[in-house]
Structure 1
Amino acid sequence: MTHIDRRAARVLLVDATQRVLLLHGGDPARPGQRWWFTPGGGLDEGETHAQGAARELFEETGLRLHPAELGEPVHHEVTEFSYDHRQYRQDQHFFLHRVPAWEVDFAGFDAHERRTITEHRWWTIAEIDASDEEIYPLDLTSLLRRCLAESESLRSH
């Protein structure tokens, strides 16, 4: 099976009550299947991970950040998945960004995002742990616990 190699960046957007923003959507090739995922996506030609993460965050949530505001990636993974009848191998970096609160605005969606993203929700770690819905990345609660603990440690110094 041939995979399309893709570079991507994603954002763990966390509010003041420690909830993470997840988007809900699916694959046009599998209309009955939906899952939750972090904002982000594929990088444009020549983009850094931080630039791509900032661009995707603005497109998908309306939150405009300078790439430097994202800091360094907090997680890296390679994942393989099927989307729109194609197989992908995605090398992705995750950034953590905290906001006091944020009202999500889907106005920046491109045609592809309008077809595939249907809603958003702020989730607590406990809600993710208790959910039987598909949520990506698969280890999201472990990742959040680690990143939030590290972030709190840095804030206290």
Structure 2
Amino acid sequence: MRRQRPAARILLVDGCGRTLLFRFVPEDGRPPFWVTPGGAVDPGESYPEAARRELREEVGLDRDCGPEVARRLVEFLTLEGVEVQADERYFRVDIDTCDVDPAGHTPLERRVITEWRWFERDDIAGHAEPIFPVDLTAMLAATDHPVEVA
């Protein structure tokens, strides 16, 4: 039986419409992959609280992540080798720009996150390595704010 794993993930979008992704290289030899910032909800923590904490720890930004914009139920093998059924809640944060500050990364993250970069949407679909969530571009499009025309 898979372990239940509630998780908060962040769609961090800069002023140019690019999305921040982290590249993970698992220590067990599985292929590298890219993923949005975020992670497991700690005991007693709400999804919004977890999103804020994860944004602070992984990116270095301390801010409210706003309302939940999407939800995914997925099964996967964690970096620690645990089979989970994840209840992932997504939060979108729009910023002008920022530099990633890895000071809050856990020891595991320091070992397996090899790089991070801002992806243009067109670069996501055709990227050579897997990107999660698999429907990231559709999720981003569904959460875009309408442009007001004067």
TM-score, normalised relative to structure 1: 0.89
**Equivalent residue in structure 2 for 1:40, among 38, 41, 47:** 38
1:141 maps onto 2:137 in alignment: yes
* 2:82 alignment partner in structure 1: 86
Q: Distance in 2 between matches of 1:124 and 1:16?
A: 11
Gap runs ≥5 in structure 1: none
Letter in 2 for 1:13: L
Shift, 1:29, TM fit: 2.2
Cα distance between partner residues in 1 of 2:117 and 2:32: 14
1:130 is displaced (CA, Å) by 2.2
Residue 62 of structure 1 pairs with residue 39 of structure 2 = no
Deviation track 1:99-136 (CA, whole Å, cap 9, x = no partner) reads 00011111111112112211101001111122132000
**Structure 2: 5+ residue stretches without partners:** none
1:61-83 CA-to-partner distances (Å, cap 9, x unmatched) read: 11111xxx322110001110012
CA RMSD, 1 decimal: 1.4
Displacement over 3 Å in runs of 4+: none
- Counterparts of residues 1-150 of structure 1 (less than 5 Å): 2-30=1-29, 32-65=30-63, 69-83=64-78, 84-148=80-144
Aligned AA for 2:28?
Answer: A
